[in-house]
Structure 1
Amino acid sequence: MRTDQQPVRIALFAPDGRMGQAIRAAIAEDPAFELANDSGEVLVDFSAPDALRASLDRAVSAGVPLLIGTTGLIAEHDDLIAEAATAIPILKAPNTSLGVALLADLTARAARILGEDQWDIEIVEAHHKKKADAPSGTALHLGAAAEIGRGRILPEERGRDGTGLKRETGAIGYSAIRGGTVAGDHDVLFLGPDERLILSHRAENRSIFARGALVAARFLKGKPAGLYSMRDVIDAA
């Protein structure tokens, strides 16, 4: 870090949560960042859907950027985020890993090139036993990337069970695995005639999400109001 640069002051909305603790540890190891006791220069929220309104209100009131890493959000939450993004810069990221951001980019490219008439898409994810939502926000994010590549909203097939099932052409299938202490595994499978393309990411420790969150927070500092994504972060790298 250059000596004429001040560290970015990061405030945590949920400092005692799993990700809050991981981000605190990452800040302690990186002199480019500093933990703030107030709203800081960037507010980071990895909490729960029910707490989203409170974090949005805090960021808008303080006039600071907000990084949202909370998963399990629904359309109502997206509307709240869109409204707040007219006042402050907001980065919504179901996964702050830089590797996953690149995986989403590759997924979109593969979906664009591999036509849905012959190539089926399946997304398989695994997480620790305490994760409360399924499919994971990252899996759905990867599905959205595939839709960008295919140029349309695609039907979904989740939690298949029973007999006489028939896969719908063009659909995205989602499978969720829960158990142990898995930090996060994601596979995007493109299944074609006589060949398969599998794009994978393995998270070995939550520290990768914490480090990515800090990169995203640094990106947000000084940005104009609007809604941003991890794609914007990697494009700016």
Structure 2
Amino acid sequence: MTQTTGIAITGISGRMGQMLAREVAANPKMQLVGAVERSGHDWIGQDLGGAMGGTANGVIVTDDVATAIADAQAIIDFTTPASTLAFAAAAAKAGIVHVIGTTGMSTAEIAQLKEPARNAVIVRAGNMSLGVNLLTLLTRKVAAALDEDFDIEIIESHHNQKVDAPSGTALMLGEAAAEGRGVNLADVSDSGRDGITGARKRGDIGFSAIRGGDIVGEHDVMFAGAGERIILRHVASDRALFARGALKAALWGQGREAGEYDMLDVLGLGE
């Protein structure tokens, strides 16, 4: 009998949490062994299957992460920065893989992951999709090939309930563009245009955010020069692709050395 990988999911009542639970249930290599929600949530103490409107599956929703990961080999986390840091500490203590899809983390918060990464595998990405990670590679290469005669603008579109901007994916693409040009993104980022802003500064990497309806995720990286534009684009039409990417990362992390990784490592595209 093939051994399955035990998976715990945080933020289980959310759209991504429930999507992850369904994808784990459909994956013969995995078994859902833990489900976490914030204290006081209506689902606490309930069987997850019933809470999701289906049949009981024996997984009881808890607000105690230690209980949720007791039988897990990986925890998948699409929550908030503060919660993610707490889950990272718990995953490191248990020595299990921590897959992080949380967006909106500050540079200081990301730096705090170095300590738990000494004792556990952490796979963190602003986007878990194969296509977006290929787009990241292409963005870096095109940015390296073109000089500052080409303005770089990253345009992202998401549903009207998204709370952070620019998106984690947009920032990931911005980092790739900055790396390609050999600059620090913080020094050239331009995301706050409003009113009389003056002409665009040469070398800046711009961000534009659109929010509306139920857009899953669309990202364009535009290199605009005199008389020509190069546009790299990725469109997501089904958020299940993010869940599947996260599950791939959870499996990939089994048996790896402790440390910080990203989806390019998972996909064998790391350089």
Please tell me the TM-score bracket, short chain as reference: over 0.9
Where do 1:1-16 residues align within 5 Å?
5-16=2-13
Where do 1:20-169 residues align within 5 Å?
20-37=17-34, 38-39=68-69, 40-116=72-148, 118-154=149-185, 155-163=188-196, 165-169=198-202
CA contact (8 A) 1:52 1:77 kept: no
- In the alignment, which residue of structure 2 is the partner of 1:178? 211
2:115 is paired with a residue whose SS is helix
Higher relative contact order (CA 8 A, sep 6+): 1
Query: 2:268 & 2:163 partners in 1: Cα distance?
Result: 31
1:85 is paired with a residue whose SS is helix
What is the CA distance between 1:53 and its match in structure 2?
2.5
**Structure 1 unaligned spans of 5+:** none
The change in CA–CA distance for 1:215 and 1:236 in structure 2 (over 3 A counts) is: farther
1:82 is paired with a residue whose SS is coil
Alpha carbon RMSD of aligned pairs, Å? 1.5
Letter in 1 for 2:163: A
CA contact (8 A) 2:93 2:119 kept: no
What is the CA distance between 1:217 and its match in structure 2?
1.0
- In the alignment, which residue of structure 1 is the partner of 2:266? 233
What is the CA distance between 1:6 and its match in structure 2?
2.1
Q: Percent identity?
A: 45
Letter in 2 for 1:98: L
Query: 2:218 & 2:87 partners in 1: Cα distance?
Result: 28
Once the two structures are superposed, residues 9-36 of structure 1 have per-residue CA deviations (whole angstroms, 9 ceiling, x without a partner) of: 2111222222111111111222122212
TM-score in terms of structure 1 length: 0.94
Query: 1:199 & 1:6 partners in 2: Cα distance?
Result: 41
TM-score in terms of structure 2 length: 0.82
What is the CA distance between 1:161 and its match in structure 2?
1.7
Once the two structures are superposed, residues 105-128 of structure 1 have per-residue CA deviations (whole angstroms, 9 ceiling, x without a partner) of: 110011111112x11100000111
Letter in 1 for 2:230: L
**Structure 2 unaligned spans of 5+:** 35-67
Moved more, 213-222 or 32-41: 32-41
Query: 1:5 & 1:115 partners in 2: Cα distance?
Result: 52
2:119 is paired with a residue whose SS is coil
Once the two structures are superposed, residues 68-107 of structure 1 have per-residue CA deviations (whole angstroms, 9 ceiling, x without a partner) of: 1100101221122111111111111111111111110110
What is the CA distance between 1:163 and its match in structure 2?
2.7
Letter in 2 for 1:22: M
Query: 1:176 & 1:146 partners in 2: Cα distance?
Result: 17
Moved over 3 A (4+): none
Query: 1:236 & 1:31 partners in 2: Cα distance?
Result: 26
1:165 is paired with a residue whose SS is coil
